[in-house]
Amino acid sequence: MNIIDALGYRKSVRAFLKKEVETDQITRILNAARHAPSGTNAQPWDVAIVRGKTRIKLTTALIEAFNDNGLGEMDYKYYPVKWKEPFKKRRVTCGAQLYSALKINRKDKEKRLEQWLANYKGFDAPVLLFFFLDSIMEKGSFLDYGMFIQSVMLAALEEGLATCAQAALGQNPELIKTTLGYGTDTTLICGMALGYEDTSAPQNNYRTPRETVEGFTKFFE
């Protein structure tokens, strides 16, 4: 798959097959992604690969933490405190598409909660990736990390795999760091589900609308 096709084909997958991902595949993905650019070649990424018993232990703990304390706080503010247009409308549309695909009524709180909890299980993907950053690094490294994470997602396509980058997997950083042995001197950027897409799942069979080039671009000559 060429790069332009891959950029258009990539999507957030929220249902995975019960099929294991080989270690060699993960290594090849990260071997490709490590060539992502970074300011002064700092290469600030630190990736934890979680699967097997550790994945079950961690996701169970994340669900328990949510049930006990609700939404946790990330190490940094991912979203604005107060949304404005056009971002507010795009956010609402994104959520509405998911629940519509799953035929979950707006008033069905039980099913909406069930779907939200699926976030903390990484949608049952066999592999979860957690992306850490040394706390001394500043905002520029977040830009570097974004390019690295996109590289991971595109390389995964080459391996026939699907991904879903998840802010929800960064909502309880202390628990995750303690479980995985990371110190408080790190910032948890986000998590990512990785596995084989369940193409029969309705939540995988819609696409979010994207703004046209004309809508976000200005040419100056």
Question: Domain-by-domain residue ranges, the chain?
Answer: 3-77+120-199
CA-to-CA distance for 51 and 34, rounded, in angstroms?
21
Average pLDDT over residues 140-154: 98
Average pLDDT taken over every residue of the chain: 97
Q: What are phi and psi of 165, to 5 degrees?
A: -75, 135
With cut-offs at 50, 70 and 90, classify the pLDDT of residue 169: very high
Question: Could you tell me the pTM of the whole model?
Answer: 0.96
69, 177 in Cβ contact below 8 A? Answer: no
State the pLDDT at residue 212. Answer: 97
Question: Which stretch of DSSP H or E encloses residue 113?
Answer: helix 109-120
| AA letter at 206 | Y
Fold of 3-77+120-199: NADH Oxidase (3.40.109)
